[in-house]
């Protein structure tokens, strides 16, 4: 099922969406796992990873979350980068399983 594109935008057909099984679709799902702390979603309390801004990035936790909630992809790399302004960015790579 297609999903709403975040941040929410509108296009010529109305609400912008991401096509299911596209790379952008999977990228958004994995990004949501990074931005969600465990326990924040009542129906899936195990979803998410601890905020890498306040703790070190748990790469294993991210890989486990991807395997559990987005089994169609394999994580090929993950790293945290800190900008000169001390903003933390999590960078990851993935490939869609055959």
Per this entry, what is the length of the chain? 98
Residue-wise pLDDT for 10-47, tens only, equals 999 899 999 999 999 999 999 999 999 999 999 999 99
Domain ranges for the chain, please list them.
Answer: 3-96
Burial class (CB in 10 A: 0-12, 13-18, 19+), 51: middle
Residue 69 near residue 47, CB atoms below 8 Å:
yes
Q: Which long-range contacts (CB under 8 A, 24 or more apart) does 58-61 make?
A: none
pLDDT of residue 79: 93
Q: What is this structure's pTM?
A: 0.85
Residue-wise pLDDT for 38-83, tens only, equals 999 999 999 999 887 778 889 999 999 999 999 999 999 999 888 8
pLDDT of residue 51: 84
In the structure encoding, which two tokens stand for residue 7, read together? Answer: 């941040």
pLDDT of residue 28: 96
């Amino acid at each position: 099922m297609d999903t709403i594109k975040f941040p929410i935008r509108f296009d010529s057909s109305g609400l912008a969406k991401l096509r299911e099984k596209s790379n952008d679709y999977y990228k958004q799902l994995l990004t949501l796992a990074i931005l969600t702390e465990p326990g924040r979603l009542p129906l899936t309390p195990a979803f998410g990873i601890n905020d890498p801004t306040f703790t070190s990035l748990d790469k294993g936790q991210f890989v486990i979350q991807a395997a559990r909630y987005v089994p169609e992809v394999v994580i090929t790399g993950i790293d945290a980068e800190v900008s000169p302004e001390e903003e933390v960015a999590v960078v990851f790579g993935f490939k869609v399983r055959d």
